Amino acid sequence: MIRSFVFAFGIALIGAGSASAQSPRTVAALDDLRAAAQGLTDEHLRQETLSGLQSRPCVRHRTGLTAADEQAILVTLRAEKLLPTPADAAEAERQRETIFPPLARGADCPVLPQAFEVAPGGNSGSHHDWPGGLVDHEGFNLRLALALADLYAAEGGVPVDHDALVGSVLWHDWAKALVLPFDADGNLPPEGPIAGAGAHHVLGLAESMARGLQPRMILTQACAHVAPVGEDRRKVEDWLRAAAIISRTEWTTSVVATRECLISNAADDNWIHAETSVHAADAALARLAPRFGHPVANGADYRIRLRNPALEVLGADRIRTLAETEGDDAVERALRDAGL
């Protein structure tokens, strides 16, 4: 029981933004991501992706950036209609913080504001919005993408570009660790938009560009939110243009709906199921809160000591399934068995 309590307490600290411990689920998911990166055949892509999956990696697109550079990027984004003209100084500052969220100081370059393995997979109330949720989300998307790739390869008789697909899954949501840091109360900040998409999407593309990754992989990464078919092609083009401006690089590759692009888009749809699950899990945890000493399912103590660690240890799907098939008592037993 002592080990369970220490483990639960360590997980609770993660909810407050500390990286002192991770659940076995989180550790296993991160190991899977790093193993997939190790299996990439292109040497540059493999090394950069392994670097990006470290605990506090360099944020390459922000290296050497000056205040003057930031202002020039903002001016260009607005001129290109990728950001609206701000109505006032407050809105201008919100835009600046969306494009250039705070970073931590590194030895050679700025680094993520939180450990990658601690980051959530979505904003508050969204899918995987708990510590370790990002690696959970990416791990599931990776398995789904590889399964779809096998189906596409069997159907067409031609293998799918493994590097483009796997690299895109590993990099697509990477910037959620940048834009969604937990605060001391276990809360998450709002995520602003860039070119009509959540900031993480475009900033992740900017990071891939700054690291000189393959254009085919970056295009596949850009397709995660929508496939470039019909009018949606313009959305993907805008995201890539915005990312090139932010990373101070050039993008000249044509935007087409490759097989890898379509698989990437389908694999990212796990968020729909996952968001339904987290809402159901939150409802179950709210019902159980008084049994764990939380009269109200709200506030920092509830989030840090029950809600966030419960979701990291068990996951939203497990909590939802237990509640729906065996009832709240089964959820309580599982939580107590985990040391909560």
Write down the pLDDT at residue 272: 85
Say if CB 156 and CB 51 are below 8 A apart.
no
- Widest distance between CA atoms in the chain: 60
- 130: CB partners within 8 A, 6+ apart: 15, 120, 307, 308, 311, 312, 316
- pLDDT at residue 11, rounded to an integer: 40
pLDDT for residue 47 is more than 80: yes
pLDDT in tens, 92-105: 999 999 999 999 99
Residue 191 in contact with residue 199, Cβ under 8 Å? Answer: yes
DSSP class of residue 45 equals H
| Residue carrying structure tokens 């700054």 | 210
Residues 6+ apart with CB under 8 A from 88: none
pLDDT at 9 over 60: no
pLDDT by residue (tens digit) across 116-144?
A: 999 999 998 889 999 999 999 999 999 99
Beta bridge partners of 196: none
pLDDT (tens digit per residue) in 189-207: 999 999 999 999 999 999 9
Q: What is the pLDDT of the chain when averaged over all its residues?
A: 92
Query: What 3-state class would DSSP assign to 58?
Result: strand
Residues pairing with 58 in the sheet: 111
Whose tokens are 């990312």? That residue is 243
By CB atoms closer than 10 A (0-12, 13-18, 19+), residue 10 is middle
Backbone angles phi, psi at 197, to 5 degrees: -115, 160
Greater confidence, 18 or 83?
Answer: 83
What is the per-residue pLDDT for 247?
Answer: 98
The beta strand positions in the chain, using DSSP E, are 193-194, 197-198
pLDDT in tens, 83-94: 999 999 999 999
Long-range contacts formed by 24-27: CB under 8 A, 24+ apart:
25/132, 25/136, 25/312, 25/313, 25/314, 25/315, 26/117, 26/131, 26/132, 26/135, 26/136, 26/312, 27/117
Whether residue 23 is predicted with pLDDT greater than 90 in this model: the reply is no
**22, 117 in Cβ contact below 8 A?**
yes
Tens digit of each residue's pLDDT (9 = 90 or more) over 140-173: 999 999 999 999 999 989 999 999 999 999 999 9
On whether the CB atoms of residues 133 and 120 are closer than 8 A, the answer is yes
Report pLDDT digits (tens) over 50-81.
999 999 999 999 999 999 999 999 999 999 99
pLDDT at 225 over 50: yes
| Tokens representing residue 296 in the block | 């109200």
pLDDT surpasses 90 at 236: yes
Decide if pLDDT at 21 tops 70.
no
Q: Check residue 222 and give its pLDDT.
A: 98
pLDDT in tens, 269-316: 888 888 999 999 999 999 999 999 999 988 999 999 999 999 999 999
Extents of the domains making up the chain = 2-27+272-337, 36-60+111-268
Q: What angle do CA 315, 316, 320 make, to 5 degrees?
A: 125
